[in-house]
Structure 1
Amino acid sequence: MQQNLSIGGRVQLNRFCRQYLQLQLELDYPHAEYLRKDAFQEAIYSTVFDESVIEHAPPARYQLKVLKKLVKNIEQSIQDWEEDGISDNLMNHLSTLLSSPLPSEAASTQQKSYVTYTLSSLLPSFSNFKSPPPASPRSPEITPPTTPTSTSTLVPTITLLESRSLLSASGTTGLKTWEASLHLSQYLISTPLIPSKRILELGSGTASYPSYVPNTSALHTYYAQTGHQTSLNDSSKIDGRVYIWGEDPVLDGGGDRAEMEKGMLDVDVVIAADVTYDAAGIPALVSTFQNVFAKNPAVKILVAATVRNERTFAGFLGTCKEYGLGFEEVDFPVVGEREQEGPFYDDGVEIKICELKSGGLD
């Protein structure tokens, strides 16, 4: 369907559909010159609203909100109703949503929803992209990078099952996605740091998003969930552990302590994102970094943080110094929202990626 659209039309279609599947609150609706065309409307429907094609659709309440706005924009775009109109497929789907019982707004924010992130930065190397086995049907908490979906014949995606109210409502983090996690993932994609390396992820806000990006080329990834188990897809390249920062790692189902420590701490790269916002947990986190350095002084440790509170982030860096660790900020600026092609995240907040050093900076 997209082959019949102009280059400008495909750009606007892709941006809108990718934002929609990522459940963005503010979408860039296509311009009127495209919306009024039947082929463009059908392309939107077949890409994100056709339930026979979309495996992980957004929640119905979100669909309804977006589709009502989309139909209104289409109506306003039409100049000659003899030539143009509104897609029957879009109208039928809207009618279905309007006649279906929907949870309240409050209830819907507590429910988990599928959120699909577009990995536009992987496009040049997508021919080498390998998908892990499918999720367990009993608990599909996380869906790893998949083969190309209907959003494009080429674009790789990651679909996660997230709670949109997952972040603290206390005001420290707000009700938005975890920008540092997304930004770190973009950095990992752009660098030769990951291929054939053993990775330890010590936490990433958006449901282990970064761990699946390096897993496309990493030798092995250890996913450390702090305090509770998370269902992961069956993959020989991923091991899930419960790891309380500052304590010994615990192997799922038990196991030999020496084997646990060798696997968990003897790694090449450690990544963590959105883990420094709680000052109370910082000493244990930094202690864990120290333990990893003790196993491998040459390990690379990358920490990404959304700096919403300068005092908290300064406290993290100060604790690193107290433990004898140095740090250096990575030069990787956030791409402006208008230039982003997916994943989409706020360019109005400060995001830092720091590389920690054993024994301080030289």
Structure 2
Amino acid sequence: MATPGAGSRPPTIADVATAAGVSRTTVSHALNGLGKVDPRTRERIKVIAAELGYRPNLRAQRLRRGEAKAIALASSMPFAVAAGPSRLGFYMEIAAAAAESALLHGYALVLVPPVQSGSGLHSVDIDGALVVEPDVNDVAVAHLKERGLPYVALGRPVSPDEAAPYIDLRGELVAELLLAHLHEQGARRPALIIGSGERHAAVDARAAYERLAAEHGWTPIVATAPEAGGEEAGYESCAELLARHPGIDAVCALVDAFAVGAVRAIKDSGRAVPDDIMVVTRYDGLRARTCEPPLTAVDLHLDRAAADAVELLLGQLRGDVTTGAVVTSPAPRVIPRASSLRVTPRA
């Protein structure tokens, strides 16, 4: 079969139609799975298109269908806690898995910087979005609602009127596992440091901590720190806790940036980690692994959660998923490291 020579124009749908002896409409229907085309004819057209090297004009297809074939990954969470100076962390781990899953379905993933007032999320050409751990009255969610775009939350939405589909990251169980680990290692006066917002992870961790404090007879010690402050906010928050409550023997700093700052504050106070004060955190990322000592953290199965979120969003776009749908992520697993392991637990 003759094909366009080197340097010639790319083959068009008209070339495929001529070679196959059918109309351009039949070729379009055959290649796009549309219309009533005899299965043998459809297969023959696909073979001819492949032999000619025909590639469909994806932009033209999107314009005809009114689709961007792109979804966004957005969050109001500042990079100070979502990624850090290296830009590698919680947000980017989700992005890598979500991009791979989206591409398998023919969608591109658009990364949107932390969404604040006046964000470009208003103008980016997308069909829907994944929103990472939305806060109360979340700015990213508000932008998407204004545009009438569907979204899926990674983490339980905390706004009382939200009924968006979401991936349950099991925030309360994560906190329970970390606190149970500290208790097993001898902690009797643990403190909790969480972000000052109302994201599900902070809300759920506080609920779990207060319940376990009552169960074990701990005096509740909870501090909040501004997310945008990153490691420095964790340092200052922990230093203040140590000054006010010198008997603290463990710190559960939910945000990994806060945990790294807490380790530094403990060392600067003349105490040792973990002998005097143990430290644990939620996300098992680069910060947790490279901290000195390495931080006990939790495998949140973010790759699976991100892939599930893409599937849930695409289901919304197809009309297969309704509001309020929930997918629960796999059971989290504590990864013990030197920051909380004691040779002999304290009595």
TM-score bracket, shorter-length normalisation:
0.3 to 0.5
Larger Rg: 2
TM-score, L = length of structure 1:
0.32
When normalised by structure 2's length, the TM-score is: 0.33
Task: Report the structure, 1 or 2, having the larger helix content.
Answer: 2
